[in-house]
Amino acid sequence: MIIEELTMPEFMLGLEKTRTVLVPFGATEEHGPHLPLSTDTLHAVEVGRRLAQKRDIFVAPAIPYGVCRSTSQHPGTLSLTTGTLRALAIDIVSALYAQGLRNFILLTGHAGGTHTATLIDAGEALLERHVDLKIAVLSEYMLATEEARGLIETKEDSHAGEIETSRMLHSHPSLVKGVGEREYPNFPRGILVRNKRKFWPGGVWGDPTRATAYKGRQLEQRVVEALDRLVSELEQWQE
């Protein structure tokens, strides 16, 4: 059940079937020279829609902004502060809770460490606020890398590489424009730098030249299945 497409009566009927909602978080962020700035958002939305075809679950409107630090100077990246993202996550979940939802999956297509940690921090605050709330916070990319064993060839593939490019070739082929080159960032260990593009000029982490639509289709299916299992676990969770 895609919330933004429901009428009021449809939403009320949905609450009779489930009290679980998936909230897709994404980013507006560079993804090399070949993938759109909306890549992270599209990944999270796509698996949410696929999951809603398999089981009764609400899917909230996506949040297309995130905390993007290492890519903040690349053209097109629009980043939030951690305080804004935390407040946004808390407000969205609180609004859904007020409408009767109780089980929440914050699924982020953007896997930045600071971004994900901020969502986890918001989740912890929500657990303290509502005693009957259940919440899971995870990266869609984390699921993809776990499910990619035996399928993805590139070692330590990550941002705009084989995995993400394969996913986009399958789900949104018209948005893939050319092929990026193999690249890995070389940020200094522990040192914060002002000129981030100096250490990561192309914005690719991995090897997009090995991407195929077939791999993307297989990955998407595996991610949806893994997410389906997670939702069942969350709904049955007891402490």
Percent of the chain with pLDDT over 70: 100
Q: Quick: pLDDT tens for 64-106.
A: 999 999 999 999 999 999 999 999 999 999 999 999 999 999 9
Q: What pLDDT shows up at residue 142?
A: 85
Q: pLDDT-derived band of residue 45, with 50, 70 and 90 as boundaries?
A: very high
Q: What pLDDT shows up at residue 165?
A: 97
Q: pLDDT-derived band of residue 145, with 50, 70 and 90 as boundaries?
A: confident
Q: pLDDT-derived band of residue 46, with 50, 70 and 90 as boundaries?
A: very high
- The answer to whether residue 148 scores a pLDDT higher than 90 is no
For range 204-232, the mean pLDDT = 95
Q: pLDDT-derived band of residue 146, with 50, 70 and 90 as boundaries?
A: confident
- The answer to whether residue 143 scores a pLDDT higher than 90 is no
Q: Which amino acid is at 89?
A: A
- The answer to whether residue 196 scores a pLDDT higher than 90 is yes
Which of 179 and 135 is assigned the larger pLDDT? 135
Q: pLDDT-derived band of residue 149, with 50, 70 and 90 as boundaries?
A: confident
CATH topology of domain 20-233: Rossmann fold (3.40.50)
Sign of CA dihedral 67, 143, 35, 168: negative
Cβ pair 60, 186 in contact under 8 A: no
